[in-house]
């Protein structure tokens, strides 16, 4: 049975031969987002035509509203940040650490969720890196990464910071289980969400923060992202907000609040200066496209169906059967996001990618895994073409 794309490929600028399977590296921006960029750029060329509310403040709010709707949170808790790293840095550098405090992270994290915590060593804060499974093993359904992280918590631990979906092996952590365990221990759960945002629904009931850039599954541009924090954590952090973070309405006056209350208590509290309004407009337009087809829940179901079809096709090939079976088990266990990461010798991956590029097929590789990332614009025709490419002899 065929599976139609959930999001029309006509909304993008794909050449006829291009099959983009790498939004885990960079997501394609929809034409509607590019049009928004162009419209806002005209206000930079002609600032005398700028409408302060419609072309600036309203654009910010539009992104907060769209991002909150996609994540299933309140727009009041959304901060506009440039990327995942700056969102995590706002927390790492703003928390009232004491010498001897600890933060726990998984081993093998992307630098965005490693370097902000390592930088705290100069404050006497120790970053504890925890292997999520035995080093030589491939992740399968017997892994318990949440339990390993929880077991690493000590009385000195203040935060656990982890990727929701890992960038290399594609493993998805159970945020509910991990967050509940952290909360029971009085520890904040901080989530790097960039590899899941836009293609799956995060469970943030027990989390304290969720940071994501906008240029992958959210289909925005580089340099604009979102940070969600709960009010309890936000009250503990050093405010970053400046001239756009007044407690009430916007003001250009030198004094924007009372002596006791200089900053808004909502997400603007952590917004350092002016955002890139071009990036805000483009990301808002992209997220609104995702919401129009049912949001993250609909996209997640669509992607799962496509993944299962791909693995069914690959299972008939001896070279791929073992990995297809492993990944199918992980899907059934809820351990995958939109990335299927096939463990494969690097020379084989390099040959596959080179041959794919010659055919207009673009995937990616990280740390010995071939990453196939599916999204709402893909359909069964794309999956079948991907399977044919992967199974073809060099």
Nearest to residue 104, comparing CAs of 191, 180, 146, 162? 162
Cα separations (Å) of 300 from 33, 157, 294, 377, 389? 22, 33, 10, 12, 24
pLDDT at 274: 84
> Residue holding tokens 């196939």?
372
Is 43-291 a CATH 3.40.640.10 domain? yes
Residue 89 burial (CB count, 10 A): 21
pLDDT at 393: 61
Q: What are phi and psi of 79, to 5 degrees?
A: -115, 140
Alpha helix positions (H), the chain: 31-45, 52, 58-71, 84-94, 115-118, 145-151, 175-184, 231-236, 277-292, 295-314, 318-332, 346-358, 380-391
Q: Hey, what are 337's tokens?
A: 């996001």
Contact by Cβ (8 Å): 169, 140: no
Specify the CATH class of 295-391 in words. Answer: alpha beta
Q: What is the pLDDT along the chain (394 residues), one digit of tens a residue?
A: 899 999 999 999 999 999 999 999 999 999 999 999 999 999 989 999 988 888 888 999 999 999 999 999 999 999 999 999 999 999 999 999 999 999 999 999 999 999 999 999 999 999 999 999 998 789 999 999 999 999 999 999 999 999 999 999 999 999 999 999 999 999 999 999 999 999 999 999 999 999 999 999 999 999 999 999 999 999 999 998 777 787 765 555 555 556 667 888 899 999 988 889 999 999 999 999 999 999 999 999 999 999 999 999 999 999 999 999 999 999 999 999 999 999 999 999 999 999 999 999 999 999 999 999 999 999 999 999 999 999 996 5
- Report the distance separating Cα 91 and Cα 233, nearest Å: 9
pLDDT at 254: 54
pLDDT at 55: 84
Q: Is 267 helix (H, G, I), strand (E, B) or coil?
A: helix
pLDDT at 372: 98
Nearest to residue 194, comparing CAs of 7, 10, 373? 373
pTM of the entire predicted model: 0.96
- Report the distance separating Cα 312 and Cα 224, nearest Å: 37
Q: Hey, what are 161's tokens?
A: 């910071």
Contact by Cβ (8 Å): 104, 160: yes
Nearest to residue 91, comparing CAs of 158, 167, 177? 158
Q: Which residues contact 308 (CB under 8 A, 6 or more apart)?
A: 328, 331
Q: Hey, what are 239's tokens?
A: 């405010």
Q: Hey, what are 14's tokens?
A: 């794909």
Residue 72 burial (CB count, 10 A): 15
What are the domain boundaries of the chain?
43-291, 295-391
Contact by Cβ (8 Å): 275, 57: no
Q: Are strands 339-343 and 188-192 parallel, antiparallel or unpaired?
A: unpaired
Contact by Cβ (8 Å): 193, 367: no
Q: Is 373 helix (H, G, I), strand (E, B) or coil?
A: strand
Alpha helix positions (H), 240-317: 277-292, 295-314
- Report the distance separating Cα 162 and Cα 207, nearest Å: 11
pLDDT at 293: 98
- Report the distance separating Cα 152 and Cα 143, nearest Å: 16
Torsion of the alpha carbons at 322, 326, 329 and 334, rounded to the nearest 10: -150
pLDDT at 52: 83
> Residue holding tokens 């893909």?
378
- Report the distance separating Cα 86 and Cα 116, nearest Å: 9
């Amino acid at each position: 049975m065929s599976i139609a794309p959930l999001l029309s490929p006509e909304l993008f600028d794909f050449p006829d031969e291009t099959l983009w399977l790498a939004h885990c590296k960079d997501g394609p921006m929809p034409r509607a987002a590019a049009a928004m960029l162009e419209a806002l750029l005209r206000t930079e060329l002609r600032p005398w035509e700028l409408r302060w509310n419609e072309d600036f403040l309203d654009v910010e709010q539009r992104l907060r509203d769209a991002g909150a709707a996609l994540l299933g949170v309140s727009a009041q808790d959304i901060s506009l940040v440039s990327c995942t790293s700056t969102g995590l840095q706002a927390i790492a550098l703003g928390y009232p650490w004491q010498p001897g405090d600890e933060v726990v992270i998984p081993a093998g994290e992307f630098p965005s969720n490693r370097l902000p915590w390592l930088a705290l060593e100069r404050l006497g804060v120790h970053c504890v890196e925890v292997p999520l499974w035995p080093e030589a093993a491939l992740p399968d359904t017997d892994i318990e990464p949440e339990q390993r992280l929880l077991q690493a918590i000590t009385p000195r631990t203040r935060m656990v910071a982890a990727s929701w979906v890992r960038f290399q092996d594609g493993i998805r952590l159970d945020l509910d289980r991990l967050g509940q365990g952290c909360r029971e221990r009085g520890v904040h759960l901080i989530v790097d969400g960039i590899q899941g945002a836009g293609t799956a629904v995060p469970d943030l009931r027990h989390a304290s923060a969720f940071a994501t850039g906008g240029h992958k599954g959210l289909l925005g541009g580089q340099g604009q992202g979102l940070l969600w924090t709960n009010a309890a954590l936000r009250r503990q952090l050093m405010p970053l907000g400046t001239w756009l973070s007044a407690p009430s309405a916007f003001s250009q006056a030198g004094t924007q609040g009372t002596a006791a209350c200089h900053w808004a208590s909502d997400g603007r509290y952590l917004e350092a200066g002016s955002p890139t309004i071009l990036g805000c407009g483009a990301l808002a337009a992209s997220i609104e496209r995702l919401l129009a087809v049912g949001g993250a829940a609909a996209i997640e179901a669509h992607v799962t169906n496509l993944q299962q079809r791909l693995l069914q096709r690959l299972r008939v090939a001896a070279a791929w059967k073992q990995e297809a079976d492993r990944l199918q088990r992980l899907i059934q266990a809820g351990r995958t996001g939109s990335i299927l990461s096939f463990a494969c010798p690097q020379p084989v991956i390099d040959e596959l990618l080179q041959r794919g590029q010659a055919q207009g097929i673009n995937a990616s590789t990280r740390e010995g895994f071939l990453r196939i990332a599916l999204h709402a614009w893909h359909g069964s025709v794309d999956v079948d073409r991907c399977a044919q490419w992967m199974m073809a002899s060099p």
